[in-house]
Amino acid sequence: VPIAVDQPLIWFDGNFIAGNTPEAPLTTHAMHYGTAVFEGIRSYATADGGAAVFRLPEHMERMRKGAQMFGIDFDVDRASEATLATLRANGHRDAYIRPLTWMGTGSIGLDVDPLTQHLMIATLAKVVHLGGARTRLTVSPWKRNPATSLPALKLSGAYVNSILAKREAKQRGFDEALFTDDKGYVVECTGANVFMVKNGAITSVDHRDALPGITRDTMIELSGAQSREVTLHELLDADEVFVCGTAAEATAIAVLDRREFGDNPVTRELAALYARVVRGEESRYTSWLTPV
């Protein structure tokens, strides 16, 4: 194991390497075509002085489904063990975990069968958050990749769609973009799922083009939210809107284009419950935690 100076160690194909080691050749297929699959997972410090990964099996299962799209033989148990080993090697407790599996070298054509396959796990002590409590959202002029063209999985190349929308939203002074479809239904944000609260009732936006978020599933379980298709019109008419994801957790929306939202007590309460759940402070939900 090399000594980590200021760079955390990265697990790469079975070994730990220093985080700043250049490893991928310039002919790496994934760099040319986006033929890679990633996950965004979090671990949290727990009250007993340890740490736990939140819903690790669900994240790894989603990654396996994505990997299968490229014919990557993804071993869930190996990747899960490597994740825990990387957290331990770096001494990380509150961390963002980034596994990536990708198509390497062997051909520069579009047939991926001859290519080498790789897996890395990075853990980062700093989480990239959304804008925080005052997130300003705007409807994107870009449409989401339809699931009939790209499955709603974390395929790296598909995220160009999110990046275009995010960039366009920021250029107009907003923090985040909201995808809607041609019929006026809400899809999701660039890296988070959408919920609304109206007269105390919580609704989770359901859309076939949206990533089936693990935080979304968690919030539905915690709040008893109803999952259904929601129009942009309904979202603008809601009392509260929040978005959720592994990185975003539950982030209240302050502004959706010209609509300003006031206080968000329901979101605040659910966000607080989520914070206790991920840290193992709610005994009903400790089965979602994998101890590091």
First to last CA, the chain: 19
- The interface region with ligand PMP, picked from 110-118, 122-130, 134-142, 191-199 by CB under 6 A, is 191-199
Applying CB under 6 A, among 80, 191, 203, 223 the residue interacting with ligand PMP is 191
Minimum distance from residue 199 beta carbon to ligand PMP (Å): 26
Please return the burial class of 176, using the count of CB atoms within 10 Å of its CB with bins 0-12, 13-18 and 19+. buried
Minimum distance from residue 9 beta carbon to ligand PMP (Å): 24
**By CB under 6 A, residue 211 contacts ligand PMP:** yes
Applying CB under 6 A, among 66, 104, 245, 280 the residue interacting with ligand PMP is 245
CB-based contact 137:189 (threshold 8 Å): yes
CB-based contact 144:151 (threshold 8 Å): no
Minimum distance from residue 109 beta carbon to ligand PMP (Å): 29
CA 162 to chain centre: 12
* Pick 63 or 238: Cβ nearer ligand PMP: 63
Applying CB under 6 A, among 215, 223, 251, 264 the residue interacting with ligand PMP is 215
**By CB under 6 A, residue 193 contacts ligand PMP:** yes
Whether 166 sits among the annotated catalytic residues: the reply is: no
Find the Cα–Cα–Cα–Cα dihedral 266, 250, 181, 141, rounded to 10°.
110
CA distances from residue 258 to 130, 175, 212, 271 in whole angstroms, order as listed: 20, 14, 28, 25
What tokens were used for 11? 């697990």
SS3 205: strand
What tokens were used for 204? 């989770």
Q: From the candidates 65, 126, 154, 170, which is the catalytic residue?
A: 154
**By CB under 6 A, residue 246 contacts ligand PMP:** yes
Applying CB under 6 A, among 118, 166, 207, 216 the residue interacting with ligand PMP is 216
* Pick 10 or 187: Cβ nearer ligand PMP: 187
- C-alpha 206/C-alpha 242 separation (Å) is 14
In the region spanning residues 260 to 289, those forming contacts with ligand PMP, defined by CB under 6 A, are none
- The interface region with ligand PMP, picked from 1-9, 127-135, 195-203, 213-221 by CB under 6 A, is 213-221
**By CB under 6 A, residue 176 contacts ligand PMP:** no
What tokens were used for 32? 């040319």
Length of the chain: 292
**By CB under 6 A, residue 213 contacts ligand PMP:** yes
CB-based contact 127:18 (threshold 8 Å): no
Active site residues: 154
Using CB under 6 A as the criterion, which residues of the chain lie in contact with ligand PMP when the complex forms? 40, 162, 188, 191-193, 211, 213-216, 245-246
